[in-house]
Chains A and B, each alone.
Chain A
Amino acid sequence: MVGRRKRQEKFVESRPQESGLRRFIRVFIGRKIVLFGLIVLLMFILLAIFADIIAPYDPYEINLDESLVSPAGSHLLGTDINGRDILSRLIHAVRPTLQVGFATICFAITAGTILGLIAGYFGGWVHMVIMRIMDALMGFPMILLALVIAAVLGGGLNNVIIALSIAMIPGPARVMCAQTMSIKENDYVIAGRSLGFTNSRLMFSHIVPNAFPPMIILATMNIGMVILMEAGLSFLGIGIEAPKAAWGSMVSAGQNYLRTHPWMSLPPGLAIMLIVFSLNMVGDGLRDALDPRLRGTL
Chain B
Amino acid sequence: MITYIIRRLIQAVFILLILTFVVYGVMRLVPGDPLLMYMDATDIEALSPEALEKARAELGLDKNLAHQYVIWLGDVFQGDWGKSFHYKTPVLELIGERFPITTHLAVVSFFFSTIIGITLGIIAAVRRGKWADTVATLMANTAITIPIFWLGLILILLFGLYFEILPTAGYTSPTEDFWLSTQKIIMPCICLMIGSLGANARLTRTSMLEVIRQDYIRTAWSKGLKERAIILKHALKNSLIPVVTVMGLQVRFIFGGAVLVERVFAIPGMGRLLVDAVIGKDFLVVQGCVLVIGIIVVMVNLLVDISYGWLDPRVRFE
Which of A2, A144, A273 has the most chain B CB within a 10 Å cutoff? A144
Q: How far is the CA of A273 from the CA of B294 in the complex (A)?
A: 30
Q: How far is the CA of A236 from the CA of B147 in the complex (A)?
A: 13
- Contact check, B15 vs A255: say whether CB atoms are below 8 A apart: no
Which of B22, B147, B260 has the most chain A CB within a 10 Å cutoff? B147
Judged by a CB distance under 8 angstroms, whether A269 is at the interface is: yes
Chain A neighbourhood of B18, CB < 8 A: 132-133, 135-136
Chain A neighbourhood of B157, CB < 8 A: 258-259, 262
Judged by a CB distance under 8 angstroms, whether A140 is at the interface is: yes
Known contacts A141-B293, A148-B26, A280-B141; A136/B153 CB under 8 A: no
Q: How far is the CA of A259 from the CA of B286 in the complex (A)?
A: 34
**Chain B, 106-153, CB within 8 A of any chain A CB:** 141-142, 144-151, 153
Chain B neighbourhood of A177, CB < 8 A: none
- Contact check, B150 vs A272: say whether CB atoms are below 8 A apart: yes
Judged by a CB distance under 8 angstroms, whether A276 is at the interface is: yes
**Which one, A16-24, A49-57, A74-82, A224-232, is touching chain B?**
A224-232
Contact with A along B3-17 (1 / 0, CB 8 A): 000000000001110
Q: With both chains docked as a complex, state the minimum distance between the C-beta of A19 and any C-beta of chain B, in angstroms.
A: 29
Q: How far is the CA of A52 from the CA of B27 in the complex (A)?
A: 39
Q: How far is the CA of A276 from the CA of B14 in the complex (A)?
A: 36
- Contact check, A236 vs B260: say whether CB atoms are below 8 A apart: yes
Chain A neighbourhood of B293, CB < 8 A: 140-141, 144
- Contact check, B278 vs A148: say whether CB atoms are below 8 A apart: yes
- Contact check, A251 vs B147: say whether CB atoms are below 8 A apart: yes
Chain B neighbourhood of A262, CB < 8 A: 157
- Contact check, B256 vs A231: say whether CB atoms are below 8 A apart: no
Q: With both chains docked as a complex, state the minimum distance between the C-beta of A189 and any C-beta of chain B, in angstroms.
A: 27
Q: How far is the CA of A228 from the CA of B29 in the complex (A)?
A: 26
Q: How far is the CA of A254 from the CA of B14 in the complex (A)?
A: 44
Q: With both chains docked as a complex, state the minimum distance between the C-beta of A132 and any C-beta of chain B, in angstroms.
A: 6
Q: With both chains docked as a complex, state the minimum distance between the C-beta of B11 and any C-beta of chain A, in angstroms.
A: 8
Q: With both chains docked as a complex, state the minimum distance between the C-beta of B274 and any C-beta of chain A, in angstroms.
A: 7
- Contact check, B255 vs A238: say whether CB atoms are below 8 A apart: no
- Contact check, B253 vs A136: say whether CB atoms are below 8 A apart: no
Which of B22, B145, B253 has the most chain A CB within a 10 Å cutoff? B145
**Chain A, 222-260, CB within 8 A of any chain B CB:** 224, 228, 231-232, 235-238, 248, 251-252, 254-255, 258-259
Q: Which of these, A136, A248, A259, A272, contacts B22 with CB under 8 Å?
A: A136
Judged by a CB distance under 8 angstroms, whether B201 is at the interface is: no
Judged by a CB distance under 8 angstroms, whether B39 is at the interface is: no
Chain A neighbourhood of B156, CB < 8 A: 258
Interface size counted on chain B using CB atoms at 8 A? 48
Q: Which of these, A2, A147, A224, contacts B145 with CB under 8 Å?
A: A224
- Contact check, A258 vs B153: say whether CB atoms are below 8 A apart: yes
Judged by a CB distance under 8 angstroms, whether A142 is at the interface is: yes
- Contact check, A139 vs B15: say whether CB atoms are below 8 A apart: yes
The B interface, classified by DSSP as helix, strand, loop or mixed, is: helix
Chain A neighbourhood of B26, CB < 8 A: 148-149, 152
- Contact check, A236 vs B264: say whether CB atoms are below 8 A apart: no
Q: How far is the CA of A239 from the CA of B222 in the complex (A)?
A: 58
Q: With both chains docked as a complex, state the minimum distance between the C-beta of A146 and any C-beta of chain B, in angstroms.
A: 9
- Contact check, A280 vs B260: say whether CB atoms are below 8 A apart: no
Q: With both chains docked as a complex, state the minimum distance between the C-beta of B70 and any C-beta of chain A, in angstroms.
A: 17
Q: How far is the CA of A135 from the CA of B260 in the complex (A)?
A: 24
- Contact check, A132 vs B153: say whether CB atoms are below 8 A apart: no
- Contact check, A236 vs B275: say whether CB atoms are below 8 A apart: yes
Chain B neighbourhood of A248, CB < 8 A: 147, 149
Chain A neighbourhood of B145, CB < 8 A: 224, 228, 273, 276-277, 280
Known contacts A140-B293, A143-B256, A277-B145; A269/B150 CB under 8 A: yes
Task: Output the nearest chain A residue to B149 by Cβ-Cβ distance.
Answer: A235
- Contact check, A141 vs B253: say whether CB atoms are below 8 A apart: yes
Judged by a CB distance under 8 angstroms, whether B190 is at the interface is: no
- Contact check, A140 vs B19: say whether CB atoms are below 8 A apart: yes
Q: How far is the CA of A231 from the CA of B259 in the complex (A)?
A: 13
- Contact check, A148 vs B23: say whether CB atoms are below 8 A apart: yes
Task: Output the nearest chain B residue to A133 by Cβ-Cβ distance.
Answer: B18
Chain B neighbourhood of A149, CB < 8 A: 26
Q: How far is the CA of A146 from the CA of B291 in the complex (A)?
A: 16
Known contacts A149-B26, A236-B260; A140/B297 CB under 8 A: yes
Which of A148, A238, A273 has the most chain B CB within a 10 Å cutoff? A148
Known: A136-B15, A236-B275, A277-B141. 9 other contacts (CB 8 A): A135-B15, A139-B19, A148-B27, A236-B263, A248-B147, A254-B153, A255-B264, A269-B153, A272-B147
10 shortest interchain CB distances as A-B pairs: A141-B256, A269-B150, A136-B18, A143-B256, A276-B145, A136-B19, A151-B278, A277-B145, A136-B15, A141-B252
Q: List 16 A-B contacts (CB under 8 A).
A: A132-B15, A135-B18, A136-B16, A144-B255, A147-B259, A147-B275, A147-B278, A228-B145, A231-B147, A236-B275, A255-B153, A255-B264, A258-B156, A259-B157, A262-B157, A276-B145
